[in-house]
A and B are shown apart, each in its own frame.
Chain A
Amino acid sequence: MKRALSVLALTIAGLVPVWRYAPADGTTTTGSAAPASTPSASTGTSDSSGQVVAGSTVNTEKGAVQVEVTFAGDEISSVRMLKQPNHPQTTAAVPKLIEETLEAQSADIDTVSGATVTSEGYRESLQATLDAIDAKGA
């Protein structure tokens, strides 16, 4: 497993410059592709198909990068990106997202946005109730 972990560390270290690389950028950065944090591996899970190990998150200027490596014995059978910058080349600022818990509300509304595609779905929907109330009031 020791060998496997060192391979994992190398794998992560090898992937980081890929994400740092920005062809559109005219400036060159040579010899400074060291990861912003030292990669280490979290404890993996193992099953019959091999051991799966998630690497730690590495912060690059393009965004956080994290990989998951699946081992078959001592061999790496696959590498999957758990976290990667969505659009490495984009300069558009992504607004900071606010995380909340899901609520179930009921309130006075004019209409409902929802993926109501079928008529069956509509019959039991809030929008049907609103339309029925409107029809009576109209």
Chain B
Amino acid sequence: MRRVEHVMGFPVSLRVDDADVPEAAVDAVFAWLHEADARFSPFRPDSEVSRLDRGELSGEALSTDLREVLDLCEHYRTATGGAFDVRLPGRGLDPCAVVKGWSVQRAAELLTAAGAERFCLNAGGDVAAADGPWRIGVRHPELADRLCTMLEITDGAVATSARYERGDGRTGRPATGLLSMTIVAPTPTEADSVATAAFAMGTEGIEWAASREGCEVFAVDAERRVFRTPGLPVAA
């Protein structure tokens, strides 16, 4: 079963190889991603995130999900010594970097709960894969139609943060010295958050990401040098 939909402003491709997984399970995945967008997008004035930012939500009014997202944001802010910050001066609260990976992880959990065993979910370049091997190409930072490496993942997640589209506007920081930062991790939340945070940290982020337990790194710096961890699951 395969489906592509545009959610949160990016394409989401899902492939489920189990024959006995109902279509409704796939519907539920896309419904959840649309719900996550509606509730946590800082670009929607009526989202929980926007209401929190305007001071309209506090204390017990916060949903369990939003609390979980904010806790994750705080975890990564501390872990990066402040390089990863969803509350930058002069800008609204923007937990996008955490919400993306976190909602992909929830989507993968929905699939597993519905009995799916072998699937590959790609949400705007963030990949959650189960029961592979899955061959996952990493987009070349300068050539949109080429790959710079190929990974083989059985169960796990891959996320890439790069300058070719995202720019540094997201972090409000100057150029980082990296062209792209790819992380392989056990979960989409960790992969996406670490990729975003390490990219914001620049070249220092390479070692920082490499030192995180369970994370494998493929980074391209501004001089087009590649730095990767020995454990990176490069496809044969």
Contacts and interface: CB of A to CB of B under 8 A. Distances in A.
Contact of A125 (B135, B144, B163): B144
Given A90-B211, A116-B10, A104 B140 contact: yes
A105 B136 contact: no
Contacts of A125: 139, 144-145
Nearest to B166: A115
28 contacts: A86-B204, A93-B211, A95-B210, A96-B230, A97-B227, A97-B229, A98-B227, A101-B225, A102-B148, A102-B220, A103-B148, A106-B147, A107-B137, A109-B135, A109-B137, A110-B135, A111-B136, A112-B137, A113-B126, A113-B136, A113-B137, A113-B158, A115-B164, A116-B125, A119-B10, A126-B139, A134-B13, A138-B2
A130 B2 CA distance: 11
A126 B11 contact: no
B4, B138, B204, B229: most-surrounded residue (chain A CB, <10 A): B4
A25 interface: no
Given A99-B225, A116-B10, A110 B147 contact: no
Contacts of A90: 211
A102 B163 CA distance: 16
Contacts, number: 179
Interface in A80-132: 86-87, 90, 92-119, 121-122, 124-128, 130-131
Interface of B: 2, 4, 6, 9-11, 13, 15, 120, 122, 124-127, 129, 134-141, 143-151, 158-166, 180, 182, 204, 206-208, 210-211, 213, 217, 220, 224-231, 235
Interface in A40-83: none
B194 to A, nearest CB: 13
A135 interface: yes
A107 B144 CA distance: 14
